[in-house]
């Protein structure tokens, strides 16, 4: 296996205008180039966000060199990524069972067709 798949969830405020603005910020070409470069530089091979209502699900394929602690440190030192994160947090509503200040929470896989008889 050359990649690892991770899935995360976050809610955003249940307001049609806010949801549309969040989606617009994630349209092709709308994410700042520095943010996309930072994602790719950390061996994230694929990243998609899916939406239903006010729930967002992020699916990420990361390479074996991905280090979440190192990424968090680099992102904290990158003013473009920090600004993006601050902007996105104005849309995101923490899940009620997450730690204080959290946004995206990693989901647990509970079913795989490949593991079935």
For the segment 53-110, what is each residue's pLDDT rounded down to a tens digit? 999 999 999 999 899 999 999 999 999 999 999 999 999 998 999 999 899 999 999 9
Query: Do 58 and 7 form a contact (C-beta atoms < 8 A)?
Result: yes
pLDDT digits (tens, 9 = 90+) for 14-61: 999 999 999 999 999 999 999 999 999 999 999 999 999 999 999 999
Domain parsing of the chain, residue ranges? 3-97
pTM check: above 0.85: yes
Nearest to 69 by CA among 42, 45, 41: 42
Q: How many CB atoms lie within 10 A of CB 105?
A: 16
Continuous segment of H or E residues that includes residue 52: strand 44-52
Is residue 1's pLDDT more than 70? no
Cα 52 to Cα 41, 55, 91: the distances in Å are 29, 5, 15
CATH of the domain spanning 3-97: 3.30.70.100
């Amino acid at each position: 296996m050359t990649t690892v798949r991770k899935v995360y969830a976050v809610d955003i405020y249940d307001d049609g205008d806010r949801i549309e603005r969040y989606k617009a910020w994630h349209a092709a070409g709308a994410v700042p180039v520095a943010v996309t470069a930072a994602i790719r530089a950390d061996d994230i091979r694929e990243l998609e966000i899916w939406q239903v209502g006010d729930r967002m699900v992020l699916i990420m394929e990361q390479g074996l060199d991905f280090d979440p602690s190192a990424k968090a440190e680099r992102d904290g030192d990158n003013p473009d990524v920090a600004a993006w994160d601050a902007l996105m947090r104005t849309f995101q509503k923490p899940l009620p069972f997450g730690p204080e200040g959290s946004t995206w929470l990693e989901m647990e896989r509970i079913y795989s067709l490949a593991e079935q008889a």
